[in-house]
């Protein structure tokens, strides 16, 4: 029994999460002077919050859907798009960077055809005048341009192995009840089919009657049998403007005396004009007669022609992708009677087998999240020089994390917070960074403990961190928060003791010489934690935090 969890489930979960980001605040929390060992356990998450040093809000513009970074490379074989293949984690697209294009940015192209599994050697080059944004390169690849990442966006948001989808798409699913086009028609036996012919020639003059062409063959192997080509396609191309027309042949007659032929045609298949309309066909146009393709499906408008090489149909060119398809089949209509007989054992004729590929719902580029099978999202946070003046620029930290919906004191509006307690004391010289100070009550029980994070001798100020733990909050500290919330076990009526037992007194008046964090301690849901060897902060520190998470 096979069980499949569709990638659509993962992309929709990613959508829901991104949607939640628009309605709730997410912060990067920096925690712990030293490193720690995070676990997906309540005690570990609580410990992470208790050791919080500072945090900064992740702005909505800095949250992106992310896809794997597959740079365009010479010699790489890219996977071509196929609606019948699981493309998850496949290199079915490439990012063409500034070294391989002249636009100075990063352009994302989707591979529609890889030239039968050939190695890439020519990058697609973006052309704003290309209305289809489909590119055939010299190496035989066919690419569809998808979107652009500016150099600034790339430098800001790319993480190791991942790049953003820009601009950030709406998290809502735009593909519901949206049908597809015929993206491509693949020949499944290009080396085995045989017996197909292509006939070429030129027009002698403009039509002398409605739907009638006088033509001269470019070779002398045309059949004298009347209606030999009836039912096949004639594809004309104007030499002056390159415009092509496609018609189905309704009558054929060959004049052996003159070597010319009369061909009558039906409706023009690309414009859908019901009556034979040859007004756009130039008198000196060239043409080719080729087998007709039949496309059947629940959509309309798709038109394609076969490419014949050495009596084989090697590929198919889609002239009109049509619309409204959710299912389709295609076949090559056998050429005229007695000219193509695959059932006859005395011939080498073999039918070409073809299969339509449907585009993603809405067409290529309509829904980037589903189309790139996106199951990753990225957070980007950063600390600026201005931020350093608000959170301190000394000591070390050993972990970072993502916290959803932390709570703050009434009136807090900043995007960054310092979670240390600032104590103004003339006894600042009795402590040093990373030492521990405590408060003890009348029973000589420790009721408060903290690590000294920083000593600012110029301001007689000691900054305390990691001050939570198994200690009860004290009622007399409630007024330190304007919302009257007690969330810190600090007791303003008690002095501190250093590790040698010396007393450190808070300067009077005590309440005005103690500053608590605006963050309401231990609030918020920890969604992610990571530890590392402690990193040092200085006044020159400019950190960037990049997270790529996967559902």
Beta pairing partners, 448: 439
Phi and psi, residue 385, nearest 5°:
-60, -40
Domain co-membership, 341 together with 461: no
Whole-number Å distance between alpha carbons of 114 and 240:
31
Q: Give backbone dihedrals phi and psi of 430, rounded to 5 degrees, phi first.
A: -90, 0
Q: φ, ψ for residue 444 (rounded to 5)?
A: 65, 25
One domain, residues 344 and 441: no
**CATH number, domain with residue 227:** 2.40.10.170
349 near 196, Cβ under 8 Å?
A: no
190 and 302 together in one domain: yes
Does any domain span residue 105?
Answer: no
Q: Are residues 345 and 204 in the same domain?
A: yes
DSSP E strands in 457-524: the ranges are 461-465, 496-497, 503-504, 514-515
* pLDDT per residue as tens digits for the range 27-40: 999 999 999 899 99
| Domain boundary pick from 327, 358, 389 | 358
Specify the DSSP element, H or E, that contains 390.
Answer: helix 385-391
Q: What pLDDT is stored for residue 480 in this prediction?
A: 64
Q: Tell me whether residue 403 is in a domain.
A: no
Query: What pLDDT, on a 0 to 100 scale, did the predictor assign at position 260?
Result: 92
Backbone Cα Rg of the chain: 36
Whether residue 250 is found in the same domain as residue 342: yes
According to DSSP, residue 219 is labeled S
Decide if 147 is inside a domain.
no
Could you give the CA distance from residue 216 to residue 202 in angstroms, rounded to a whole number? 6
The structural domain count of the chain equals 2
Sign of CA dihedral 347, 348, 349, 350: positive
pLDDT at position 478: 43
* 424 plus 354 within the same structural domain: no
How far is the first Cα of the chain from the last one, in angstroms, to the nearest whole number? Answer: 25
Residue 395 forms part of a structural domain: no
Same domain, 337 and 424: no
Same domain, 190 and 329: yes
In a domain, 25, yes or no: no
User: Quick one: pLDDT at residue 278?
Assistant: 84
Q: Is residue 488 within 8 Å of 521, Cβ to Cβ?
A: yes
Provide the domain limits for residue 465.
Answer: 420-516
pLDDT of residue 101: 86
Instruction: Dig out the tokens for 412 from the structure.
Output: 């807090």
Q: What pLDDT, on a 0 to 100 scale, did the predictor assign at position 236?
A: 94
Q: Are residues 301 and 438 located together in one domain of the fold?
A: no
The reply to whether 40 falls in a domain is no
**338 shares a domain with 210:** yes
Share of the chain above pLDDT 70, in %: 96
Helix (H) or strand (E) holding 196: none
Distance of CA 160 to the CA centre of its chain: 15
pLDDT at 13 (0 to 100): 84
User: Which token pair is 92?
Assistant: 């079915």
In order along the chain (551 residues), what is the average pLDDT of each group of 10 residues?
76 85 91 93 95 95 93 97 94 95 92 94 95 93 95 91 87 66 94 95 75 89 91 94 93 92 90 78 92 95 96 94 95 85 92 96 90 91 90 93 94 94 96 96 93 96 94 63 79 93 95 92 95 91 89 78
Do 335 and 430 sit in the same domain of this protein?
no
| Cα 12 from Cα 175, distance rounded (Å) | 12
β-strands 26-31, 52-57 pairing? antiparallel
Is residue 379 within 8 A of residue 545, CB to CB? The reply is yes
Domain boundary among 311, 329, 358: 358
Residue 444 lies in a domain: yes
DSSP 8-class letter at 333? P
How far apart CA 462 and CA 426 sit, in angstroms, is 10
CA contacts within 13 A on the Cβ side of 251: 9
Tokens at 157, concatenated: 């948001």
Find, among 5, 166, 170, the residue nearest to 88 by Cα.
Answer: 5
Please give the structure tokens belonging to residue 489: 């076990």
Contact partners, residue 514, CB within 8 Å, separation at least 6 = 421, 422, 423, 424, 480, 490, 492, 506
pLDDT of residue 267: 87
Contact 181, 321 (CB under 8 A): yes
Residue 117 is assigned to a structural domain of this protein = no
Query: Within this chain, do residues 427 and 334 fall inside the same structural domain, yes or no?
Result: no
**What is the per-residue pLDDT for 109?**
97
Three-class SS of 508-527? CCHHHHEECCCECCCCCEEE
The pTM for the full model equals 0.84
Could you give the 3-state DSSP secondary structure of residue 44? Answer: helix
């Amino acid at each position: 029994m096979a069980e499949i969890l569709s990638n659509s489930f993962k992309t929709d979960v990613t959508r829901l999460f991104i949607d939640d980001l628009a309605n709730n605040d997410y912060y990067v929390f920096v925690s712990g002077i030293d490193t720690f060992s995070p676990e997906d356990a309540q005690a570990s998450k609580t410990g992470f919050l208790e050791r919080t040093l500072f945090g900064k809000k992740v702005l909505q513009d800095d949250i992106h859907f992310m896809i794997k970074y597959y740079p365009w490379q010479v010699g790489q074989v890219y996977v071509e798009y196929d609606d019948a293949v699981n493309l998850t984690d496949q290199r079915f697209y490439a990012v063409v960077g500034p070294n391989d294009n002249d636009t100075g940015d990063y352009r994302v192209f989707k591979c529609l055809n890889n030239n039968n599994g050939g190695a890439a050697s020519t990058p697609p080059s973006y052309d704003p005048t290309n209305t289809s944004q489909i590119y055939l390169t010299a190496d035989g690849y066919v690419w569809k341009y998808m979107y652009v990442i500016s150099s600034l966006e790339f430098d800001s948001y790319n993480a190791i192995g991942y790049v953003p989808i820009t601009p950030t798409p709406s998290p809502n699913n735009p593909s519901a009840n949206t049908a597809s086009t015929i993206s491509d028609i693949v020949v499944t036996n290009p080396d085995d089919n045989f017996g197909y012919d292509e006939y070429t020639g030129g027009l002698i003059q403009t039509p002398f009657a409605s739907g009638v062409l006088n033509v001269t063959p470019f070779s002398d192997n045309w059949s004298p049998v009347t209606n030999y080509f009836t039912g096949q396609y004639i594809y004309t191309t104007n030499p002056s403007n390159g415009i092509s027309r496609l018609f189905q042949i309704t009558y054929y007659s060959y004049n052996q005396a003159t070597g010319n032929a009369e061909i009558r045609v039906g409706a023009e298949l690309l414009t859908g004009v019901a009556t034979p309309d040859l007004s756009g066909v130039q008198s000196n146009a060239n043409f080719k007669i080729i087998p007709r393709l039949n496309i059947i499906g629940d959509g309309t408008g798709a038109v394609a022609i076969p490419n014949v090489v050495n009596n084989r149909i090697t590929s198919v060119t889609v002239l009109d992708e049509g619309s409204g398809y959710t299912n389709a089949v295609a076949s090559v209509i056998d050429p005229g009677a007695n000219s193509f007989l695959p059932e006859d054992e005395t011939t080498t004729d073999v039918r070409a087998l073809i299969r339509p590929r449907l585009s993603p719902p809405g067409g290529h580029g309509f829904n980037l999240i589903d189309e790139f099978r996106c199951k990753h999202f990225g957070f980007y946070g950063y600390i600026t020089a201005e931020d350093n003046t608000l959170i301190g620029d000394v000591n070390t930290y050993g972990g970072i994390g993502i916290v959803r919906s932390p709570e703050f004191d009434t009136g807090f509006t900043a995007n960054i917070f310092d979670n240390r307690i600032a104590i103004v004391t003339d006894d600042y010289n009795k402590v040093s960074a990373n030492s521990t100070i405590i408060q003890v009550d009348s029973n000589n029980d420790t009721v408060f403990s903290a690590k000294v994070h920083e000593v600012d001798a110029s301001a007689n100020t000691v900054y305390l961190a990691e001050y939570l733990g198994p200690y009860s909050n004290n009622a007399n500290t409630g007024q330190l928060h304007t919302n009257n919330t007690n969330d810190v076990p600090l007791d303003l009526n008690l002095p501190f003791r250093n590790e040698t037992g010396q007393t450190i007194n808070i300067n009077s008046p005590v309440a005005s010489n103690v500053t608590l964090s605006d963050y309401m301690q231990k609030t918020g849901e920890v969604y992610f934690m990571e530890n590392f060897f402690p990193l040092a902060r200085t006044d020159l520190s400019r950190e960037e935090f990049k997270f790529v998470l996967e559902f």
